[in-house]
Amino acid sequence: MSNPTSVPGVNRASGAAVGYVLAGALFIVLGGVVGIAVRPPAIDADPAEQRYKALAELRAAENTALNNPGWIDQQRGIVRLPIDQAITNAAEAWQNPAQARADLMSRAEKAAAPLPKAPEKPSAFE
């Protein structure tokens, strides 16, 4: 007696094998289409150029900060001196280490002091 649900002359194992082969072929075809359609950029072509540009900008900013005076914190009166002037000032100040240490401590306290409160704006009703 044969199974009433089976079709005569068709083997279930061969049907599964055909399904696997078709699925594999479809996967290969789709993979090839995606590989052709989507071309990734060359590895490290653009990022290397961006890193060199960022490095050049960083070095230019560092050079500007080292060689030009500017404000660090204008409210507290803290300035940035050119490196040559700062070295000269430090060498002169440390001729007397006790005085230089006291000056350094007073500057540190001034820099760490809380900022004064901003004046309150008057109310519209005053």
Got the DSSP string for 63-119?
HHHHHS-EEEETTTTEEE--HHHHHHHHHHHTTSHHHHHHHHHHHHHHHHSPPPPPP
Q: In a 3-state reduction of DSSP, which class is residue 63?
A: helix
Query: Average pLDDT of 15-42?
Result: 86
pLDDT at 12: 67
Encode pLDDT of 34-75 as tens digits.
888 887 766 666 777 888 999 999 999 999 999 999 998 888
Q: In a 3-state reduction of DSSP, which class is residue 18?
A: helix
Distance separating alpha carbons of residues 64 and 62, to the nearest angstrom: 5
Encode pLDDT of 62-111 as tens digits.
999 999 999 988 888 889 999 899 999 999 999 999 999 999 999 888 88
pLDDT at 4: 55
pLDDT at 14: 77
Residue 2 has pLDDT above 70, yes or no: no
CB-count exposure of residue 93 (10 Å: 0-12, 13-18, 19+): middle
